[in-house]
Amino acid sequence: MHCDTGRLIEESCMFVDVLCIDAIIHSEEAHMELCRALRISRSPASRLRLRIGKLDMSCLGVPRTVVLLEQLEREVLL
């Protein structure tokens, strides 16, 4: 997956940086921290957008997977 390093948010004319990471989640604590970081990066005041390039969280089950998927930007999902 290709991630842009920056983009213009048209609604506010604000330039933001995009940080694309690969995430391997093996604990509930790491899952909560990643969800929190994604939620904060989506706030209008944030100048940094966090995007997931590759994600491995096969050990955590369906409920936690659903919670994390709700935090991802839908336009970047393949």
Residues 32-78: pLDDT tens digits? 999 999 999 988 888 888 988 888 888 788 998 888 888 887 766 65
- Cβ(33)–Cβ(20) under 8 Å? no
- Mean pLDDT in residue range 22-33: 91
Angle between helices 28-41 and 62-71 (to 10 degrees): 20
The two three-digit tokens of residue 31, written as one number: 């899952």
pLDDT of residue 74: 73
pLDDT of residue 77: 63
Does pLDDT of 2 surpass 50?
no
Does pLDDT of 9 surpass 60?
no
Full-model pTM: 0.71
